[in-house]
Amino acid sequence: MFMAYFYANPKVGMYFVLVISFMQAGLTRYYPFAPYGLGVDVFLLLPILFTILGKGRELDASDLHQAVFYVILIWFGYCVIEIANPLSRSVVAWFYAMRGLALYLVLNFICGVLIFNKPKDMDMMITIWTIFSIIGTIWGIKQLFIGVSPTEQRWLDAGAANTHVLFGKLRVFSYYSDAAQFGASQAMAGIVFGIFAIAEWANKRRRNYLIFASLMAFYGMLISGSRGPLVIPALAGFMYLLLSKRVKILILGCSIGFMMFAVLKWTTIGQTNYQINRMRTALNPSEDPSFMVRKNREKILENYMHNKPIGAGIGMAGSWGKRFAPGSFLAELGTDGHYTRVWAECGVIGLYVHVFMIVFIAVKGFLVVWNLKESNVRIKLIAMYGGYCGVAVASYTNGLITQIPTAPLTYFGIAFIFLGPRWQREAEEQEKALEAAEKEKRKTASV
């Protein structure tokens, strides 16, 4: 019965992807016996298959025939070729790691273009996102002021406390995989919800709900103790100001942003608050021990990688490396940031290909949004674009862009951006049809 309904309504798979993405880490922590991650694969692959089988030749895939999709396919193809990397120790490691690195991007983009491809679908994604973000912050508040659960304490005791309990203070992780992912997801949510509230200004109830969700998300970012995600709202906010095409708003917004930066950088306001104090350290990287450790690690990796242009193989670094290649150089060294991991696993060639894809999406996406006519949908797409840019930059310090729930939200956002021109054409055609119908009605009435 469910499969029949799923076949007739493949869009339901997108809802499952979003829900699983938010719940996977928490479920894994409490009930670690099920392969929840594979659920994402299933609910991305089946809708594509059902859509192809259901529509057949009637399927309109014209929106896939654009440069951005081919660039994404080039990156995906490179990752597929990496299965033959002679330095790789495990095909299984490649399979698990490649999914987050390239496969989900391709599948999310295809699903977004073929299935999850209406402005109302973007609004539904935001609704699901707000619900889980609000719950995430409430869960985090409970951890901070009441305490973690016995299961969460066991997770901390197993080693996570080294990075999540600093100077006796908990870095809140809520039901996410860790504090970094919680902070990044909430940072992206806060700015995206805030910009969506501007687009929904005429709808008072929706606007107020989005403002509340935005404030809750930003508070979640604050109590996470993560500093890297600060760049997400900063860059996304700047992109909104720039793409608004209003010089006065740009100047005012940048002035406010600079004042906020100045308060953190050159004053001690709020210094007694642990969360604010930790955020402030992000603006002094030269004095941050963790930043220096990261730079030293990059120097060590540079020596290791000098004769490995295609890297050591996907899945050989980070957490996957510890699981499938324990004791190896990359598994023990660690990578921290997303781009460092790409460099280690795919080599300098893979890093160039990947960075080219990231930049190409950013440049092409900017041009697409810039050329759209003023509308509420355009404002929402600016939010999606700003979120993508922020996550792409913040991924330097963490693997944010390949981790859930940030990854599917970002990838769907990319698809929505490049659907923008089609949405605009459809809106114009609908407006013309309404005008023609109204004109015909007036003509008939006059007769």
* Other C-beta atoms lying within 10 Å of the C-beta of residue 158: 8
Q: Name the one residue in this structure whose structure tokens are 């406390």.
A: 161
The answer, yes or no, to whether residue 187 has pLDDT greater than 80, is yes
The answer, yes or no, to whether residue 404 has pLDDT greater than 80, is yes
What does the pLDDT read at residue 62?
A: 76
- Max CA-CA distance within the chain? 87
Q: CA dist 346 to 308, 310, 318, Å?
A: 9, 5, 13
**pLDDT grade, residue 286 (50/70/90)?**
low
Residue pLDDT, tens place only, 40-78: 777 788 888 877 776 665 666 777 888 999 999 999 999
Instruction: Let me know if 254 is exposed, middle or buried by CB neighbors in 10 A (0-12, 13-18, 19+).
Output: middle
**Cα 180 to Cα 224: distance, rounded to the nearest angstrom:** 7
Least confident window among 56-65, 66-75, 208-217, 411-420: 56-65
Answer whether 188's CB lies under 8 Å from 125's CB: no
**Cα 73 to Cα 109: distance, rounded to the nearest angstrom:** 11
**Cα 440 to Cα 47: distance, rounded to the nearest angstrom:** 41
Residue pLDDT, tens place only, 130-166: 999 999 999 999 998 898 888 888 888 888 887 788 7
Instruction: Tell me the β-bridge partners of 169.
Output: 166
What does the pLDDT read at residue 381?
A: 95
Q: Between 279 and 310, where is the model more confident?
A: 310
Terminal Cα-to-Cα distance of the chain (whole angstroms): 54
* Residue boundaries of the structural domains of the chain: 2-446
**Cα 231 to Cα 180: distance, rounded to the nearest angstrom:** 13
**pLDDT grade, residue 292 (50/70/90)?**
low
Answer whether 210's CB lies under 8 Å from 189's CB: no
Residue pLDDT, tens place only, 338-369: 888 899 899 999 999 999 999 999 999 999 99
The answer, yes or no, to whether residue 296 has pLDDT greater than 80, is no
The answer, yes or no, to whether residue 126 has pLDDT greater than 60, is yes
The answer, yes or no, to whether residue 289 has pLDDT greater than 60, is no
- Rounded mean pLDDT, 237-241: 89
- Rounded mean pLDDT, 262-279: 63
